[in-house]
Amino acid sequence: MLNNLIFIALPYAALALVLLVTPYRFLSNRLTWSAYSTQFLERKFLFWGINPWHYGIIPILTAHILGFAFPGLFKPFLGNQQTLLLVESFGLGLGLFALMGCLILLLRRVNSGMLSRVTYGSDWLVLLLLVFQAGTGIYVSYFLRWGTQWYLHSAVPYLWSVVSFNPQLGYVAELPLAVKLHAAGAFLIVAVLPFTKLVHLLYLPVDFLKDPPIPYRWRTK
């Protein structure tokens, strides 16, 4: 039952939402497509929250995505115990860094003068989900060792089975509860992504790296 919910219902619901709502929001009202920075109103705590969070979570998220996209690429490297140890400890450190960041971001929203006006239900939801996700991730990483390796042999084939519309629960059904919760958190985050300010991560500001400094727009050209 729980397996069906977490590994069949949730991922497909999340997939449907992100694939349908995101373009709808993009096409119907891009005026709400923003990172909704609050730095203008409060910056003292933000500095200690937003930097650890992003610098922690970006490498970790990238590692998860790369592991999913190119599992074959990483398998040979991770056979070595020392490499594995290095990757895992680095990942744990970054995870703790990210958790500290999003905890500070969560606490900074509590009882803060001007921020109260820019804090909505979706902000709480996103922050709580991120804290939950970082927390379960750290638990898995510390107590269920060598996740870097078994991720490639359990979650990755399962995720591929999901995207090929033939979900194989066999890969993940026997995983510990913490891992299941971590997976559920991930699917929830994907599901709320198109409804919240998280959409900002669907836009990578890299165009400007190659563009000339001043963009011109011509009505006639």
Q: What are the residues binding another protein (CB under 8 A)?
A: 28-41, 43, 46-47, 50-51, 53-55, 113-114, 116-118, 120-123, 197, 200, 203, 205, 207-209, 211, 213-221
CB of 141 to another protein, least distance (A): 23
Residue 21 CA: distances (Å) to CA of 25, 120, 122, 166: 6, 20, 16, 23
Nearer to another protein, 165 or 218 (CB): 218
* Residue nearer to another protein on the CB measure, 177 or 204: 204
201 CA to centre of own chain = 9
Give me the least distance between CB of 60 and another protein, in Å please: 15
Q: Please give the Cα distance from 120 to 61 (Å, whole number).
A: 25
Instruction: Report in angstroms how near the CB of residue 31 gets to another protein at its nearest.
Output: 4
- Judge whether 183 and 9 are in contact, CB under 8 Å: no
Nearest-10 crossing angle of helices 81-108, 121-143: 150
* Closest CB to another protein among residues 177, 214: 214
3-state secondary structure 118-155: HCCHHHHHHHHHHHHHHHHHHHHHHHCCCHHHHHHHCH
CB of 62 to another protein, least distance (A): 14
Tokens of 132: 């939950």
Q: How far is the CB of 108 from another protein (least distance, A)?
A: 13
Cα–Cα dist 165/170, whole Å: 15
For another protein, the closer of residues 50 and 175 by Cβ is: 50
Q: Distance between CA atoms of 115 and 110, rounded to whole angstroms?
A: 9
Q: What single-letter amino acid sits at 20? A: L
For residue 217, the minimal CB distance to another protein (Å) is 5
Compute CA 213 distance to the chain's CA centroid, rounded to the nearest angstrom: 32
Is the Cβ of residue 104 or residue 162 nearer to another protein in the bound state?
A: 104
Residue number with CB closer to another protein (84 or 115)? 115
